[in-house]
Structure 1
């Protein structure tokens, strides 16, 4: 298997970041216009930059994808994906469906698209446990049906809902030797 990027995709709160952490690969650091939270480090957790910088990057075609959440821009630079394409080593990233399609177009079969599925009720419960209010949950799950439908384009779909997150973690960890990690 000649994979250089593992892309986790799925609905909000499906378990993508949890499974990404369990895989234990270096992750591509994405960008945000929000201020760092306590304990977050620039270049480690995110690249923190003013909104105008991210907008300029987007307008210049330097971003793989961008999205807005709670008034802040988030995105992935094309340079980070191109670095992976040039052999910067095996990496992982969490992307939405459109970002995953672009990563596949850039990297071909070297991008392994790993879909993470959970029921709407499970995603809602996870968001509630994180302290999200009803409006935030509704906004985060507004694209749930589309994200679930987009999983059909993934190479592998792992179910992480309804108590299956531990099992999903075992499946993801079993991938490590196949990826050469």
Structure 2
């Protein structure tokens, strides 16, 4: 397997970030216009920037994908994907379906698209456990059906719902040696 980037894709609260952490690969640091939370470090947790900076990057075509959540912009720079394409080492990232498609276009088979699936009820329960209110849950799950349908474009789909997150973690851990990431 000659994979440079593992892309996690799936509905909100399906377990993408949890499984990304289980895989244990360096992650591509994404951008946000929100202020750092306590303990967050610029360049480690996110690249923190003013909204105007991210909007300029978008206009200049320097962003792979962007989205707005709770009044803040989030996105992935094309430069981070291009660095991976140039041999910047094996990395991972969480992307929406359109970002995953662009990563595949840029990297071809060197991008492994790993879909993460959970039922709507499981995603809702996880969002509730995180302290989200009904409006936030509705907003986060508004695209659930489209996100699930988009998993068809993934190379591998793991099911993390209904108590299956531990099993999904075992599957992701089993990928490490195949990707050349060790045990």
Fold match, TM over 0.5?
A: yes
Q: Which residue does 1:18 correspond to in 2? A: 18
1:16 to partner: Cα distance: 0.1
Q: Which residue does 1:135 correspond to in 2? A: 135
- Normalising by structure 2, what TM-score? 0.99
Q: Which residue does 2:80 correspond to in 1? A: 80
1:134 to partner: Cα distance: 0.3
State the alpha-carbon separation in 1 of the partners of residues 51 and 142 from structure 2: 24
State the alpha-carbon separation in 1 of the partners of residues 39 and 145 from structure 2: 34
Off by >3 Å, runs of 4+ in structure 1: none
Q: Which runs of 5+ in 1 are unaligned?
A: none
Question: Does the residue aligned with 1:103 lie in a helix, a strand or coil?
Answer: helix
1:71 to partner: Cα distance: 0.4
Q: Which residue does 1:5 correspond to in 2? A: 5
1:153 to partner: Cα distance: 0.1
State the alpha-carbon separation in 1 of the partners of residues 103 and 171 from structure 2: 23
State the alpha-carbon separation in 2 of the partners of residues 12 and 23 from structure 1: 19
Q: Which residue does 1:62 correspond to in 2? A: 62
Residue 174 of structure 1 pairs with residue 167 of structure 2: no
Q: Which residue does 2:40 correspond to in 1? A: 40
Q: Which runs of 5+ in 2 are unaligned?
A: none
State the alpha-carbon separation in 2 of the partners of residues 144 and 40 from structure 1: 29
- Normalising by structure 1, what TM-score? 1.00
Aligned length: 181
Residue 98 of structure 1 pairs with residue 103 of structure 2: no
Q: Which residue does 1:160 correspond to in 2? A: 160
Cα deviation per residue 1:111-144 (whole Å; 9 max; x = unaligned)?
A: 0000000000000000000000000000000000
State the alpha-carbon separation in 1 of the partners of residues 65 and 39 from structure 2: 26
RMSD in angstroms over aligned alpha carbons? 0.3
